[in-house]
Structure 1
Amino acid sequence: MSTNTSTTRHADVSIGNWKAGVGGGIAGALVMGALVLAMNPPTLAVAIPSLYALAPPPNPGLGMVVHVSHGAILGVVFAGLAGAFDLDSTGELLGLGVAWGVVTWVGLAALLMPVWLSAVGSPASPPFPNFAIPSLLWHLVYGVVLGGVYVVVDAS
């Protein structure tokens, strides 16, 4: 006769502040979008709206709407991670923001976006993989603003 004991561990992501995540994600995406518009307008005007067949023709307004929507959703994921890892100090949340910026750059911008744009036949389809340094900068800015706004909104 044998006895089996199993242990189940659950990560509680409900303790993250999703409202702070949405606010931080929107703020981060707006700042990042302004930076993209200043440095490489076709990314925001053609590539991002092309993900959903909203371009061509170039449309930076629709690109910004799509981009900010993505930023808000990714902000909620950030909030879940902050809660799961029980992060609450400014330094920890800013650090998570930097890490989240790098993760979104690698996973979404460098790997997923080129495949997606190619699949939909976008004229703005970059090569695969697309580890563009300006894009890393943009995503780092997103992450820092997200983390900073999260700290402020979560404290209020």
Structure 2
Amino acid sequence: MSTITRPTSAVSSVTSKQVAAGAAGGFVGSILFGLIMMYVIPAPILEMAIPAMYGIEGPALLAGWAIHQFHGVVLGIAYVGLVQSSAVRETARDLRGSLVLGVAYGVLATLVLAVLVMPIWLGALGFAGAPPFPNLSFPGTLVSTVGHIVYAVPVAVGYALSVR
């Protein structure tokens, strides 16, 4: 009988409690960011653009909120996997460090998702209101960055509290 040794990754050590914390933080953060999208960002993002990403013609506010919440939960879980498998693992466990990482994750989400992915996705679907690629505008990108940071801080803090 032979013994097989398999390397394990840090992601495999993610607990269900940590995943739940990322999902819960993502849900809460998405509500906060959704309110910013409704009342601060001038374009009808929740009613039109987000539903359009999935072929839903708007205005469809309820569908936009549901999709936005789903995205928030998935990105919250992705945060847990990302920090658990990276050099920032210990920083993410510290409350002060988690605030810094929350800000960084919010900025990263803006750069990747709002600036790059969303314009390509909506443009590929032929959505008339698709932003230009790359989606860099003032003050739109700045407000989006603030919204993504407001989203990401509860995710990062939720993770930090779950591992304490």
TM (norm. structure 2) is 0.81
Q: Paired residue for 1:122, among 120, 127, 132? A: 127
Aligned to 2:4: none
1:44 maps to a residue whose letter is L
Let me know the Cα RMSD of the aligned residues: 2.0
Matches within 5 A, 1:130-145: 130-131=135-136, 132-145=141-154
Moved more, 139-148 or 100-109: 139-148
In the alignment, the residues of structure 1 paired with residue 70 and residue 112 of structure 2 have an alpha-carbon distance, to the nearest angstrom, of 17
The CA deviation at 1:147 is 1.8
Contact 1:25–1:75 under 8 Å retained in 2: yes
The CA deviation at 1:155 is 5.5
- Deviation per CA, 1:13-51: give whole Å up to 9, x if none: 133411111001111111100111111350111011110
Matches within 5 A, 1:72-87: 72-84=73-85, 85-86=89-90, 87=92
Contact 1:97–1:144 under 8 Å retained in 2: yes
Contact 1:82–1:88 under 8 Å retained in 2: no
Equivalent residue of 1:124, what SS?
Answer: coil
- Deviation per CA, 1:123-148: give whole Å up to 9, x if none: 22011111321111111111112223
Aligned to 1:6: none
Contact 1:109–1:135 under 8 Å retained in 2: yes
Q: Paired residue for 1:48, among 50, 57, 64? A: 50
Unaligned runs of 5+ in 1: 1-8
Unaligned runs of 5+ in 2: 1-6
Residue correspondences, number: 147
Identity %: 34
In the alignment, the residues of structure 2 paired with residue 27 and residue 15 of structure 1 have an alpha-carbon distance, to the nearest angstrom, of 25
TM (norm. structure 1) is 0.85
